[in-house]
């Protein structure tokens, strides 16, 4: 399911998300995205929604890699640490499973820019998809 999720997810394809299996056995995963001109808001910085989507996707990917089942986001909290301006190149989100319960999954995600500047951190709470 994990590879099918990544390859057949139209939202990921549209956003340009690329998945890495960093340490799946430890509940960790990485999602990268090259910054496109469409990602910038009117002040010249990457829109917060792009960072939120990246955090949500990296969190889900960490779970899907280790458990092979789907999730539904029920809460997403993002702390924006530094604006991402022109020339940043790429964003990298590292997700790590914090808690996996029978119904609820919690993941922590950190996002850095190409120069390794921390730009956002987040926590996502998911409901496990029923089989």
Domains and CATH numbers, the chain: 2-128 (3.10.129.10)
Q: How far apart are CA 27 and CA 79, in angstroms?
A: 22
> pLDDT per residue over 47-103, tens digit each?
999 999 999 999 999 998 888 888 999 999 999 999 999 888 999 999 999 999 999
Q: What is the reported pLDDT for 81? A: 98
Higher pLDDT, 1 or 54: 54
> pLDDT per residue over 19-61, tens digit each?
876 666 678 899 999 999 999 999 999 999 999 999 999 999 9
pLDDT at 3 over 60: no
Q: What is the reported pLDDT for 22? A: 66
* Cα separations in angstroms, 77 against 6, 15, 38, 49, 125: 23, 20, 23, 12, 9
Report helix, strand or coil for 107.
strand
pLDDT at 1 over 50: no
pTM of the model: 0.91
Q: How far apart are CA 78 and CA 66, in angstroms?
A: 23
Neighbours of 123 (CB within 10 A): 16
* Cα separations in angstroms, 53 against 25, 58, 130, 131: 24, 9, 23, 25
pLDDT at 2 over 70: no
């Amino acid at each position: 399911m994990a590879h099918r999720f990544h390859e057949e997810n139209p939202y990921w394809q549209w956003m340009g998300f690329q998945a890495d299996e960093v340490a799946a056995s430890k509940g960790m995963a990485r999602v990268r995205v090259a910054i496109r001109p469409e990602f910038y808001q009117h002040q010249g910085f990457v829109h917060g929604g792009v960072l939120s989507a990246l955090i949500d996707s990296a969190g889900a990917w960490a779970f899907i890699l280790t458990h092979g089942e789907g999730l539904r986001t029920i809460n997403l909290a993002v702390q924006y640490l530094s604006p991402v301006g022109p020339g940043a190149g790429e964003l990298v989100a590292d997700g790590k499973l914090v808690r996996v319960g029978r119904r609820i999954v919690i993941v922590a995600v950190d996002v850095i820019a190409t120069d390794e500047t921390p730009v956002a951190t987040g926590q996502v709470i998911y409901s496990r998809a029923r089989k």
